[in-house]
A and B are shown apart, each in its own frame.
Chain A
Amino acid sequence: MAEDIIVKGTDVTVSFMNKVGNRKEKKTVLDGLDFDVRRGEILGLAGESGSGKSTLAKAVLGMVPLERGKIESEVTNPQMIFQDPYSSLNPAKTISWIMQEPLKLGKKKYSSEERLSKVEEMLCEVGLDAGYMQRKPGELSGGQRQRICIGTALMQAPGLLIADEPVSALDVTIQAQVLDLMREIHRKKKLTILFISHDLRTMYNFCDRVMILQKGKIVESGKPYDLYRDPKEPYTRLLLESAGII
């Protein structure tokens, strides 16, 4: 693999078996994808429902078996954050407990003092403070919860952060704040981010590269400016028009 490539997919194909009545039907969700993720970039995966963008993320994490092709990855400790910060956090536990958990699971052992000070540090990094440690997720707003999810994902210095529609469930003004936070963390930690979204407007300013998916195939990819300004494929054009961009 080239120097700056940390994930390389070749002919990645994923199918699921659907049961229709008493016969089985094969549904190909990812269809022969070739792609790479480069160190330190924010790569956007755009597409509509059913385009395979979330399945591709799972494939990168090794969570779905490949029918064909391979994914070479030199990423250590990839982490993921999801759309709905409400269902991602255990409602019965305190923020402190939730954020300490990744530290308990790693190879390196930490004393409880070390863990607490790391949690406190991380809370500051995601724009909150130590006052949140004893609170439970139910006492936080959606934006604050997403900050906790981001903080928890960063506890063990991930080699790749996969963010699956991380701001789609939030109000617009909060979206802007959470994206600012992710941008800042990306810059400070040189973190590689795979950003999954259906919102091409957000991706324009946030991503270094955008890959457009449709029905399990990559339609087109490139730098947002080049891609948006001069889309080669009709589907890319349709998406951009629908979003009111061109």
Chain B
Amino acid sequence: MLLEIKNLTIEFHDHDRPERVVEDVSFSLDKGEILGIVGESGSGKSMTALAVAGLLPRKKMEKSGEILFEEKNLLTLPRHDLRGLQGDEISVIFQEPMTALNPTMKIGKQVEEALLLHRHMTDEERKAKVMEWLEKVELDDSERVYEAYPHELSGGMRQRVMIAAAMVSDPQILIADEPTTALDVTVQSQIIKLLLKINKDSGVSILFISHDLSLIKQITHNVIVMQKGRIVEQGDTDEIFLHPKEEYTKKLISSIPSVDLRK
């Protein structure tokens, strides 16, 4: 087991009344596994992902439970040690690749950032590694992309760049928070294929957050269904889609418009 989350509870304390956004969530992620978290707005799926990434604010928020990675509890880990893992062992990609990239920095510089922070490498070694990943994410003309600014690339290309930047340090866990939601369907399916290929080639575990059940069905091995901060149901993806046990899961699955092309 690579990552284990035990009884995670997250409460906001920034208003008069505390608001519990994640409640008693437990699950684990194995090496090489693609685990999906699916739910509607406000289900707590992104909060859970941010907690694993160590990106939740430290103030005005109460967190309890454990997030265990390599025998360390990420919830209580000192900031310096957490920084050592972020972008190195644990990387994140987000929905909107335009806001995730710095508009004033060239792509090459942004992709190599994780290496600058976490590895001792010469400039040449770093560039070679960056070029390797720009090619692995199937960007044609990677030399041009290396020297380009984000606005010169399309949405799909930017998301490929984000994936390269997240993967350049060979992380063990990749957290993908709605990575294709802002993209057109044809581009979306290309990015999904790319993530599957990277998972197969590098063995990185992926925590895939989405509201889109048909995507979850395509890409994940196991799935967690969340509603209002709690886990409703979890298990093998195919099994849950075929035989959902809980009412809410059934309702979610039945809201995917079905297309029956048999006569």
Contacts and interface: CB of A to CB of B under 8 A. Distances in A.
Contacts of A48: 184-186
Interface in A19-45: none
Interface string B153-171: 0000000000000000000
B257 A205 contact: yes
Interface string A174-185: 111000000000
A40 B212 CA distance: 32
A135 B229 CA distance: 28
Nearest to B189: A242
B188 interface: yes
A239 B185 contact: yes
A49 B184 contact: yes
Interface string B234-263: 000000000000000001101111110100
Nearest to A238: B186
B211 interface: yes
Contacts of B185: 48, 198, 200, 239, 242-243
Nearest to B212: A172
Contacts of A225: 261
A172 B261 contact: no
A172 B213 contact: yes
Could you say which interface size class chain A belongs to?
20 to 34
Contacts of A243: 185, 189, 214
B41 A201 contact: no
A71 to B, nearest CB: 27
A174 B252 CA distance: 10
Interface string A193-231: 000001111101110000000000000000001001100
B40 interface: yes
A203 to B, nearest CB: 8
B215 to A, nearest CB: 8
Interface string B52-74: 00000000000000000000000
B218 interface: yes
Contact of A171 (B41, B254, B256, B259): B41
B186 A245 contact: no
A171 B189 contact: no
Contacts of A241: 189
Interface string A47-58: 011000000000
Contacts of B255: 172-173, 175-176
A117 B150 CA distance: 54
Contacts of B41: 171
Contact of B257 (A49, A204, A239, A246): A204
Contacts of B258: 201, 205
Nearest to B214: A244
Contacts of A204: 257, 259
A202 B257 contact: yes
B261 A246 contact: yes
Given A201-B256, A202-B257, A173 B188 contact: no
Contacts of B213: 172
A9 B251 CA distance: 41
A201 B188 contact: no
Contacts of B211: 171-172
Contact of A173 (B186, B189, B252, B257): B252
A241 B254 CA distance: 21
Contacts of B212: 172
Contacts of B261: 225, 228-229, 245-246
Interface string B168-206: 000000000000000011101100000000000000000
Contacts of A174: 40
A220 to B, nearest CB: 15
Given A171-B40, A201-B259, A228-B261, A244 B188 contact: no
Contacts of A202: 257
A200 B259 CA distance: 9
A9 B212 CA distance: 36
Interface of B: 40-41, 184-186, 188-189, 211-214, 218, 251-252, 254-259, 261
15 contacts: A171-B41, A172-B40, A172-B255, A173-B40, A173-B252, A176-B254, A176-B257, A200-B259, A201-B258, A201-B259, A202-B257, A204-B259, A205-B257, A206-B257, A245-B259
Given A171-B211, A172-B255, 5 more contacts: A172-B211, A201-B214, A205-B259, A239-B186, A242-B186
